[in-house]
Structure 1
Amino acid sequence: MNEQGRVAVVTGSARGIGLATASLLRERGLRVAIVDSDLEAAKEAAVGLDPRGDTVSAVQVDVLDADSVTAMVEEVVSRFGGVDVLVNNAGITSQGPSQDVTDEAWDRLLGIHVGGTFRCSRAAFPALAASGGGAIVNLASIAARVGLPQRLSYCTAKAGIEGMTRTLAVEWAPHGIRVNAVAPGWTRTRLVDDTIKRGLINEARLNALIPLGRLAKPEEIAAAIAFLASSEASYITGQTLYIDGGVTIQLPV
């Protein structure tokens, strides 16, 4: 699959699924903006993908701030001439009893996930429409489909992203913009590894709940994102692709 010359913006891409996605898109010929709140980490990731900096750029953004998001898109357009692909990956997580969730914590998590996805999509809309075949891929989660105790804010946010994906897909189709989402299950990221090491997750028990018997690799999520962003998915829009090893299709007995 060769997507030579197209431009992709990947938020939250200094590490984890975002970095795996940026790496795969670069491998397939796209020019890539590594967009993250941590500029130094973004720069390090960008150098790792292209030491000369000809095809990869690091850009800082605060997805909670509309002006910051607008400036980010303007910087990418100035650097690369446009935007063909937007991957809305920026996010955080939280855990705790639902009755103890504060307004501040609730607003911050939904503001980053739902608000950030909206703000980045809105800011990128003119460039995506101008590209004549733009694609947005949002990061949902199995948390959008199943109830996860003590993760109320996260589950709510991811369900909201699925709804946003469908609505934008219908509304922006006349502009040539496709909008889809991926919904990863448990994935082998640094955050999950740290959680396992701290004993907050029992990996053996978790693997036993997954029909395929293991956690996903970030590269497996990236492959699905890259497909939905590519011309091979030119007739797919408004869909959420679950990449979860089968965990959401079963009723354990």
Structure 2
Amino acid sequence: MESQGGEKQAEDAGLVVVTGGATSVGRATALAFAEGGRRVFVADRSEEAIAALSHPAITARCVDVMDEGAVASFFAEVRGCGPVEVLVNTVGLGGPRGLAEDLGYQEFMETIAGSAGATFLCCREVIPQMKARGRGAIINFSSSSTRTGLPGRTAYIAAKGALEAMTRNLARELGPFGVRINAILPGAIDNPRLDALIRAGAAERGENPEAFERHLLRFISMRTRIAVEDLAATVLFLASPAARHITGQLLGVDGNAEWEE
């Protein structure tokens, strides 16, 4: 039987915000919350993707979450509709490819800003209200590549590493107030971006895409792509009362990524 406290929390459940919520994992997550009866606000910079996202429980806005002013305006609108109880940050820039000694400082820092910086701006907007309410859940998206390393992607790995460190430190800051924060580390996400990477890699190696995909997945123990629905289900779990004692964790949802090149 649910306690009276649990019933009260269900009655006044706050809003859900998903950044990067009009495509891929963000879209699947926003829809999963909406179909579960939650009101969802989506921030995404793709006007085309926003136009294609249609659900009566979802309000989508075109927002560049690297822009401090745009983030503040978006969350001011959200707070006008109610308190934010769940924040999901899926945004992140892929960044430049190449050896570290060939990277420009500006593009390196832009990559940091596109992951850790954007996530910080969004977290900062919801933290005061979550602390005041004595509850809330923040779920950030990193990458399994921070564990394996990925030569030629130093800016990306540094950006996601910073996001993970911020997640764990905020867990210490926010834990006494009943606010939880975790990060999900996906593997090879089954989406159009991965399809494009496979086609490009296959062309570069002179292989067919099926052969290159096998090459790409050979160091994933389960030899599998990760469905966006699986990642959305993990977000819903981390945001739920079932995960009420889980915070400061970096959770791999990757089929066990052993190595990467």
* TM-score past 0.5 threshold: yes
2:138 maps to what in 1? 136
Percent identical: 37
Structure 1 residue 182 and structure 2 residue 189: aligned? no
1:36 maps to what in 2? 44
2:240 maps to what in 1? 230
Task: Give the residue type in structure 1 aligned to 2:256.
Answer: G
Aligned residues: 242
Q: CA RMSD in A?
A: 2.0
2:227 maps to what in 1? 217
1:114 maps to what in 2? 116
Mapped partners of 2:113, 2:232: distance in 1 = 24
Mapped partners of 1:145, 1:158: distance in 2 = 10
SS of alignment partner, residue 218 of structure 2: helix
Contact 1:169 1:238 in 2 (8 A): yes
Deviation at 1:232, TM superposition (A): 1.1
Q: Comparing 20-29 with 181-190, which one deviates more in the overlay?
A: 20-29
SS of alignment partner, residue 16 of structure 2: strand
Structure 1 residue 57 and structure 2 residue 59: aligned? yes
Contact 2:138 2:181 in 1 (8 A): yes
Structure 1 residue 102 and structure 2 residue 92: aligned? no
Mapped partners of 1:168, 1:244: distance in 2 = 24
2:4 maps to what in 1? none
Task: Give the residue type in structure 2 aligned to 1:36.
Answer: D
Contact 1:60 1:72 in 2 (8 A): no
Per the normalisation by structure 2, the TM-score is 0.87
- Show structure 2 runs of 5+ residues with no match: 1-6, 203-208
Mapped partners of 1:101, 1:163: distance in 2 = 23
Per the normalisation by structure 1, the TM-score is 0.89
Q: Deviations over 1:27-50 (max 9, x none)?
A: 2221111111123422421x1xx1
1:87 maps to what in 2? 88
